[in-house]
Amino acid sequence: MNAEGEPEAPAPQGLLVTNLTNIRYLTGFTGSAGMLFVLPDEAVLITDGRYGIQANEQIADAGAPATVVVAGAAKQKESAQELASELKSLALEAAHITWARQRAFDSDWFPSTTLVPTSGLVEGLRRIKDAGEVARIEEACRIADEALALVRPLLDDAPTEAEFGRVLDFEMRQLGAAGPSFETIVAAGPNAAKPHHRPGSERIGKGAPIVLDFGALVDGYCSDMTRTVWVRGVDDPDLRRAIEVVRVSQAAGVAAVAPGVKCSDVDKACREVISEAGWADAFVHGTGHGVGLDIHEAPSVAATSTDTLEVGHVVTVEPGVYLPGLGGVRIEDTVVVTEDGCRPLTSTPKDLP
């Protein structure tokens, strides 16, 4: 936990949770401001007047053993100081607190408490999803599948990327999603060569792949799916071949997912197929990522990942080939790791034209 050369810090006697998603995971609270002290004998959420009623309701609903302090800025500092007054050392979420705040805590809020950087403590708990969490992600996946089935025919009317994206988002909300789980990607023709293209005012034409990457949000949980579709065939032979190669690559990745398997080996399974096709350099991103309360969370499915899959992990498998100036292809499922492999939660057919 210590960087080289620093004196050994005392073992932390408490954790101050500042990541709002982690606070939600631990307490049920969904407000946009708050900090949670997790101490040996109590957990205390400090938030402001906008969220007083809501915080008490949500924590009661979740049955979380936390108390709520509602206070303005000056009073928040006082309450925090009181909670930390007996602590020789307090763990902070180093990846979820700004340097500015850590400095203020160190010199002003808690001058006689040693602040200890930690990483991934709550995220570690969040990796393995319980049945209720999987059910929410599965419902988010189902909504995305159904929404795409409903709106797919509109592509034949040459909508703009932005028009198609907003109808897709609206359908997901009509079907019960709180909203999209991230900004929907609709990338047609040459735009599909950009993995994270924002839907624009270009009309979607015939004869070229259209990358649709989107998901739904259900009770805080995300889904994530990419399909590459087209209207009246694909003209370019390289892109036709890319569709086939990515399909085989993605299937190889899903087939590799199982408990005990290294995430880097799932990446390798996808990457080998694409490399053999001569497009090693055209697969410009990692193979996938965990999905849960965040659209991108642990574990990472990439060549550099040191993670190993476990039952209850929910990850994406999403290889792609991008040919600048020409177009691109990506196919992605969200899958849950099971005892004997994995179960895809997204189920839209991959040969959807």
Find the binder of its own copies among 198, 262, 343, 350 (CB under 8 A).
Answer: 198
Say whether 164 sits in a helix, a strand or coil.
helix
Find the binder of its own copies among 38, 52, 203, 344 (CB under 8 A).
Answer: 52
Q: What is the spatial distance between Cα 352 and Cα 22, in angstroms, rounded to a whole number? A: 37
Tell me the closest approach of the beta carbon of residue 266 to its own copies, in angstroms: 18
Find the binder of its own copies among 31, 312, 341, 344 (CB under 8 A).
Answer: 31
Cβ contacts of residue 306 below 8 Å, gap of 6+? 264
Token pair recorded at residue 222? 């995300």
Tell me the closest approach of the beta carbon of residue 41 to its own copies, in angstroms: 27
Q: What is the spatial distance between Cα 107 and Cα 51, in angstroms, rounded to a whole number? A: 28
Binding-residue total with its own copies (CB under 8 A) = 46
48 binds its own copies (CB under 8 A): yes
164 binds its own copies (CB under 8 A): no
Q: What is the spatial distance between Cα 118 and Cα 9, in angstroms, rounded to a whole number? A: 12
Token pair recorded at residue 107? 């010199």
Cβ contacts of residue 142 below 8 Å, gap of 6+? none
196 binds its own copies (CB under 8 A): yes
Tally of CA atoms within 13 A in the half-sphere of 278 that contains its CB: 4
Find the binder of its own copies among 166, 240, 262, 343 (CB under 8 A).
Answer: 166
Find the binder of its own copies among 10, 65, 179, 205 (CB under 8 A).
Answer: 179
Find the binder of its own copies among 124, 324, 347, 352 (CB under 8 A).
Answer: 324
Residues 76-135 that bind its own copies (CB under 8 A): 92, 94-103, 107, 117, 119
φ, ψ of residue 49 in degrees (nearest 5): -60, -25
**Region of 151-159, 195-203, 232-240, 337-345 interacting with its own copies (CB under 8 A):** 195-203
Cβ contacts of residue 148 below 8 Å, gap of 6+? 168, 212, 214, 225, 227, 348, 352
Tell me the closest approach of the beta carbon of residue 117 to its own copies, in angstroms: 6
312 binds its own copies (CB under 8 A): no
Say whether 175 sits in a helix, a strand or coil.
coil
Q: What is the spatial distance between Cα 274 and Cα 282, in angstroms, rounded to a whole number? A: 8
**Region of 8-16, 30-38, 148-156, 204-212 interacting with its own copies (CB under 8 A):** 30-38
Find the binder of its own copies among 54, 89, 114, 160 (CB under 8 A).
Answer: 54
Where residue 111 falls (left for φ over 0; alpha for ψ -120 to 50; beta otherwise) is alpha
**Region of 45-53, 148-156, 229-237, 251-259 interacting with its own copies (CB under 8 A):** 45-53
Q: What is the spatial distance between Cα 254 and Cα 53, in angstroms, rounded to a whole number? A: 44
φ, ψ of residue 331 in degrees (nearest 5): -130, 135
8 A C-beta contact, residue 46 and residue 146: no
Find the binder of its own copies among 7, 8, 41, 49 (CB under 8 A).
Answer: 49
Of the two residues 50 and 88, which places its CB atom closer to its own copies in the complex? 50
7 binds its own copies (CB under 8 A): no
Residues that bind its own copies (CB under 8 A): 3-4, 30-32, 48-54, 73, 92, 94-103, 107, 117, 119, 162, 166, 169-170, 173-174, 178-179, 183, 193-198, 284-285, 304, 324
